Amino acid sequence: MVEELQDRVAVVTGAGSGIGRSIALALAGEGVDIVVADVDGDAAIAVADQLRAVGIQSISLQVDVADRTAVLELARVAYEHFGDVDILVNNAGVSLRPFRALWDTDYHDMVWLMGINFWGVVHGYDAFVPRMRESGGPKHIVNTASTAALRITPGAGAYTVSKSAVSAFSICSRSEFELAGEPIGVSLLIPGPVQTNIDQGERHRPASDRSENRVVKEWISYLQHGEPTGGGPLPGNPSGLRADPVDPDVVGQLVVDAIRENRPFVLTQPAPEMILRDRLDQIITSGRDVT
């Protein structure tokens, strides 16, 4: 476990705003030096400047995590500048707007979404884990999933698929590190509704590839403001999670505590317990019918 954070080094992707920025600031508050990575280079610079203003060593890089070469370069620069990396936060993520059924989800939509949300995590492991293992000592990885992986949100199937993949990848890697006796902890961050700009992620997508150039269906709209963010009860799921969005600044401290205690899961709101219990009961019941 990385119990002592002072003078450690962390790399945080998607750190230019929202949850990533919150994590970077919270770690900096514990004396951690930060590599700020974001597809928005100006936003990354602004966060790094803010950290240096309070005495934290920080550098920024513009990085598209869907690009393996860019993430390998991120690792090269991080190790060249700081000598080691103790904490890796694979946080960068996007979602599709407007919502659409999976049959209305274009192939390019899926490639773009999986490239950032899932392959961004894989690229992070590819670039950093070999060096983390080689340098020795306690390390920690945080991967950002979503409560979308715990419940069903019709119209957000592609996003749910990507975050479910991150969830499985994280759980498996944590178990493998433990089995191999590697001092590398893994925490899966599972945010519920958080006040971020994730719904504006397509602004960094090439114009020729954006979904608004195709006919898509707005699949579901049930929140007070008419924006289907997946935060409320769903048709067929009367017990669905309903939670008010939390300020992203809350998330950073939750992640810091999870790193110190090597917690496997970090939730920003209570889990959708009834949905999970109902799903588990259906799985168990279906298994009983097998002869």
Give me the active site residues, please: 159
DSSP string over 164-209: HHHHHHHHHHHHHHHHTT--EEEEEEE--SBS-SGGGGGGGS-GGG
- Contact between 150 and 271 under an 8 Å Cβ cutoff? The reply is yes
Token pair 């000598």: residue: 83
Distance of CA 62 to the CA centre of its chain: 17
Task: Enter the DSSP assignment of 223.
Answer: S
Task: Enter the DSSP assignment of 231.
Answer: -
Distance of CA 219 to the CA centre of its chain: 24
Query: CA-CA distance, 126 to 149, in Å (whole number)?
Result: 23
Q: What does the block give as tokens for 257? A: 């505590």
Task: Enter the DSSP assignment of 100.
Answer: B
Q: Is 262 left (phi over 0), alpha (psi -120 to 50) or beta?
A: left
* Cross-strand partners of 89: 12, 142
Query: CA-CA distance, 282 to 223, in Å (whole number)?
Result: 28
Query: CA-CA distance, 245 to 249, in Å (whole number)?
Result: 12
